[in-house]
């Protein structure tokens, strides 16, 4: 786990640099509108690339059926609920509640 400290140091530098870069007085360039547009899709793409495998491949770790997997059912329910309700906390609580209930039931 020696690598951990290197990983931590690197990650600290990378996250801080991304946040600080354009605050620096020595950075002469600006982001063009094209780059800005490209970057505006990063957050939705990254987050989706993280939640989709949990919902659709989650059944693999528990060796359950794809269709009856609590990950899939609760995930789809959360997506539908999030279309109706915009409150982040309410959506998270709803999703966790459904998932917990399914875990208890099956």
Binding site for another protein (CB under 8 A): 1, 3-4, 6-8, 10-12, 14-16, 18-25, 30-31, 34, 36-58, 70-71, 74-75, 78-79, 82-83, 86-89, 91-92, 94-96, 99-100, 103
Q: How near is the Cβ of 73 to another protein at its closest, in Å?
A: 11
- Angstrom CA distances, 7 to 2, 3, 18, 19, 41, stand at 9, 6, 16, 18, 26
Q: Identify whether the C-beta of residue 74 lies closer than 8 Å to the C-beta of residue 98.
A: yes
User: Mapping DSSP to helix (H, G, I), strand (E, B) and coil, where does residue 68 land?
Assistant: coil
Nearest distance from C-beta of residue 11 to another protein, angstroms: 5
């Amino acid at each position: 786990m020696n690598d951990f400290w290197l990983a931590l140091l690197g990650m600290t530098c990378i996250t801080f640099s991304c946040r600080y870069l354009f605050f620096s007085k020595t950075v002469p360039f600006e982001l063009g509108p094209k780059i800005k547009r490209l970057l505006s899709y990063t957050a939705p793409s990254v987050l989706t690339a993280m939640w989709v495998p949990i919902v659709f491949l989650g059944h693999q770790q528990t060796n359950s059926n794809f269709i009856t997997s609590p990950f899939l059912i609760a995930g789809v329910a959360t997506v539908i609920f999030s279309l109706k309700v915009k409150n982040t906390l309410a959506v998270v609580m709803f999703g966790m509640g459904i998932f917990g209930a399914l875990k208890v039931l099956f």
